[in-house]
């Protein structure tokens, strides 16, 4: 079964909007796992506008499933990851001012950089995944970075799903098949939700993990976190 890693950044966004410690992100991480989530994802950014670096350190001792830390591999980020040693680090090419992740890595022009970064994480025993779009050249070159996995950037799929789901999924199936053929395991994330997740999973049955935050936390406002996690997990059972 494809694993569901719940991104709790939006819990931290709500907390930060008021100050204080409500809602508590450590409790959120504990509850995500208690309610059936297969992992917890956090994405600390340099301005700490949602998850803070200290949050990552505070959450880590409470992880009983899998911990996935996303981010751009700046020195500060790398130092944090090497200190915490999560199960997985997902590398994104976001500039500091980016509102959210909006593109995958250019693995051709960033090959040496990625090889160096991934080498350091691999030496520390941390599984690596790199955020990537469906460009076949980038996927072919991703294997040269020595990453363990790729995470398909699924915003284009989500944006076009309602118009024509067959056309929307086609490049992702092609990209996933290529990645699978060359030995890369596949994660996916960005704008996956209760409407479009099942079809994505059906067309890419060997999908290892999805990371979902914004839609899932938004759904939880109306139907509760535990029920929401169960609903998402049901869509991942083939």
- Say if residues 136 and 174 touch (Cβ distance below 8 Å): yes
Q: Is 62 a catalytic residue?
A: no
d(CA 222, CA 231): 13
Given the residues 50, 60, 70, 209, select the one marked as catalytic: 70
d(CA 140, CA 142): 5
Q: Which of 165, 125, 129 is nearest to 145 (CA)?
A: 129
Residue 39 Cα distances to 28, 52, 171, 214, angstroms: 12, 18, 27, 16
Given the residues 43, 50, 66, 209, select the one marked as catalytic: 43
Q: Which of 83, 80, 9 is nearest to 48 (CA)?
A: 9
d(CA 132, CA 129): 9
d(CA 2, CA 186): 10
Burial class for 238, CB neighbours closer than 10 Å (0-12, 13-18, 19+): exposed
Q: Is 70 a catalytic residue?
A: yes
- What distance lies between CA 59 and its chain's CA centroid? 17
Q: Among all residues, which ones are annotated catalytic?
A: 43, 70, 190
């Amino acid at each position: 079964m494809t694993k569901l890693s719940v991104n709790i950044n939006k819990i931290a966004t709500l907390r930060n909007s008021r100050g204080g410690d409500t809602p508590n992100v450590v409790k959120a991480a504990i509850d995500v796992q208690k309610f059936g989530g297969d992992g917890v994802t956090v994405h600390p950014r340099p301005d700490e506008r949602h998850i803070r670096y200290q949050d990552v350190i505070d959450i880590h001792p409470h992880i009983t499933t899998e911990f996935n830390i996303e981010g751009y591999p700046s020195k500060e980020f790398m130092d944090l990851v090497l200190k915490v040693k999560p199960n997985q680090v997902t590398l994104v090419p976001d500039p500091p001012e980016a509102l959210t992740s909006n593109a995958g890595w250019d693995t051709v022009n960033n090959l040496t950089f990625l090889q160096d970064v991934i080498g350091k994480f691999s030496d520390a025993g941390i599984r690596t995944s790199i955020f990537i779009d469906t460009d076949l050249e980038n996927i072919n070159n991703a294997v040269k970075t020595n990453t363990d996995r790729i995470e398909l950037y699924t915003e284009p799929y989500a944006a076009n799903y309602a118009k024509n789901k067959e056309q929307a999924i086609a490049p992702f199936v092609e990209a996933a098949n290529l990645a699978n053929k060359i030995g890369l395991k596949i994660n996916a994330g960005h704008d996956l939700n209760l409407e479009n997740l099942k079809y994505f999973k059906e067309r890419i049955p060997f999908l290892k993990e999805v990371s979902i935050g914004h839609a899932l936390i938004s759904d939880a406002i109306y139907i509760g976190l535990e029920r929401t996690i169960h609903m998402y997990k049901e869509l991942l059972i083939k």
